[in-house]
Amino acid sequence: MDRAGAEGGQTILDLCTGTGDLAIRFARDDGTGPVWGVDRSREMLRIARRKTSASGLAARIRFVEANALALPFDDESFDVVSIGFGLRNVGQHQRAIGEMTRVLKEGGRLLILEFSPPSNGPFGGVYRFYLGTLLRAVGGVASGSAEAYRHLHTSITAFPKPREIVEILQAERLQDVSFRKLTGGICCIYRGTKGMELRC
């Protein structure tokens, strides 16, 4: 939220919003304008609408069922575009980032919060064991869905490394691109700003 730097009246888009946690957090800031939450899962959005209604924020958040690779918004519609733990599942990372950049206004901020592949070294080794063995076993039994935890493991280990995501952001002509590692590099926050286009 701090890195988004949302200011008074600015419009916000939260992609792969799921049950709306990030969208709700954005809407709780009195300074922000309309918040849009987009997800492909109708059931997730149903839960998100219930949560926003219970929190008294239903008037400030609009949820839309849509594909992150083909957003139903005009170019340069939002001041902030965020996606939290959803880029892995979209699959086509560069195309998704390109679509996020398209709907971002000049000077707007794009933020990605995502898991990272385990790094080398002792901590990375412990994390690989936890992710590939312990979490899959315990999570699969506790949830009754072993497949979901197999997917979690596969999608994290196959996800591009932080420097590769930075290169994609730069290829989409975002400026001031940076990333910050969290919890020993288990996940990262990526940030970029859409530059001003030169017009004749």
Report the amino acid identity of residue 158: A
Total number of domains constituting the chain: 2
Domain co-membership, 46 together with 139: no
| pLDDT score of 84 more than 90 | yes
CATH number at residue 88: 3.40.50.150
- H-helix or E-strand spanning residue 155: helix 146-157
Domain co-membership, 69 together with 25: yes
Domain co-membership, 18 together with 97: yes
Domain co-membership, 58 together with 88: yes
| pLDDT score of 121 more than 50 | yes
Average pLDDT over residues 122-144: 75
- Which residues make Cβ contacts (< 8 Å) with residue 50, sequence separation at least 6? none
Q: What is the pTM of this model?
A: 0.90
Residue 200 confidence class, pLDDT cut points 50, 70, 90: very low
Interval 61-72: pLDDT, tens: 999 999 999 999
Length in residues, the chain:
200
Q: What is the mean pLDDT of the chain?
A: 90
Tell whether 146 is covered by a domain: yes
Q: What's the angle, vertex CA 33, arms to CA 111 and CA 14, rounded to 5?
A: 35
Q: How far is CA 195 from CA 106, 153, 178, in A?
A: 6, 35, 15
Tell whether 6 is covered by a domain: no
